[in-house]
Structure 1
Amino acid sequence: MKRLWTPAWIVRHVAMVALVAAFLGLGWWQLSRAAGGNAISWGYAVEWPVFAGFVVFLWWREVRHALRGAAGEPDGPTATAADPRLAEESPVAAGRPVLRRPVRVARPAAPAPDGEDADLAAYNRYLRWLNDNPGARPGDYPG
């Protein structure tokens, strides 16, 4: 529970309470306008409390996520992976999936059956022809 009383979480708690109070107040205001004869305010009188409920839902989901994530994490920076009690509390041991960076393996280009790349060989022949015929234009190349 200490995790929910950090400065960032206090801001989230205050924002949730302020938004819910504001949305419910706006819903009450629209309800009073609707009772006064403004027909479109009936929709808004329903909409604002729905927004307040959505804010509460998001806040509750984030609290659950923070508490669930805190269960398998060490409590201090001095804990190391060599500590045997951490092996029991690790996400892998708990059966939770662990996200890791993808492994990238560079693969060399597959050589042609004769050991030489056909496109590279054709380009080298073209460059050799241009070097042997200094006044020729690229369009004169016979290949």
Structure 2
Amino acid sequence: MRRLWTPAWIARHVAMVVLVVGFLGLGWWQVTRAAEGNALSFGYAIEWPVFAGFVVFVWWREVRHTLRGTPAERPTPAPPAAAGSEPATAIPAVRRPVRVSRVPAAPAAGAEDGELAEYNRYLSWLNANPGTKPGDYPG
């Protein structure tokens, strides 16, 4: 619970209260305008409380996320061991994708594609001139 009383969280609490009160006040203002005959204000009278509800939703989600803690703080339960088997090694639940880089085949000796050579010159020029726009390429 102490995590919710840091200076950053106090600022979030205050911002949430100010936004909700402001949005509800704007909604009430639109209700009074709608009562005076402004038909468009009926839509805005509904819209502002929805904004206030969204602020409360985001604030509550962040509070719950903070109270749950990070995965390092939470204890991990031991996996159930089957009878007569060796303990399994821990396998992460989420794996990162592995990118395999493939080297393009080298052109035959002396045979270079003209478009490829021009594109490589263009890339070299862009690398040598980092502040310029691609449209400034002289070639």
Short-chain TM bin: 0.5 to 0.7
1:3-32 CA-partner distances (Å, limit 9, x unpaired): 111111111111000000000000000001
| Structure 2 partner of 1:33 | 33
Q: Please tell me whether residue 119 in structure 1 is matched to residue 72 in structure 2.
A: no
Name the Cα RMSD after superposition: 3.4
> Would you tell me which structure has more helix in proportion to its own residues?
1
Please say if residues 91 and 97 of structure 1, whose CA atoms lie closer than 8 Å, have aligned partners that are also in contact. no
Q: How many residues align structurally?
A: 100
| Structure 2 partner of 1:4 | 4
Larger Rg: 1
Distance 1:41 1:21, change over 3 A: same
The two structures have a TM-score, normalised by structure 2, of: 0.57
Amino acid in structure 2 at the alignment position of 1:119? P
Q: Percent identity?
A: 67
The two structures have a TM-score, normalised by structure 1, of: 0.56
CA distance in 1, matches of 2:99, 2:54: 41
CA distance in 1, matches of 2:24, 2:2: 29
Query: Quick one: higher RCO (CA 8 Å, sep 6+), 1 or 2?
Result: 2
Q: Please tell me whether residue 60 in structure 1 is matched to residue 47 in structure 2.
A: no
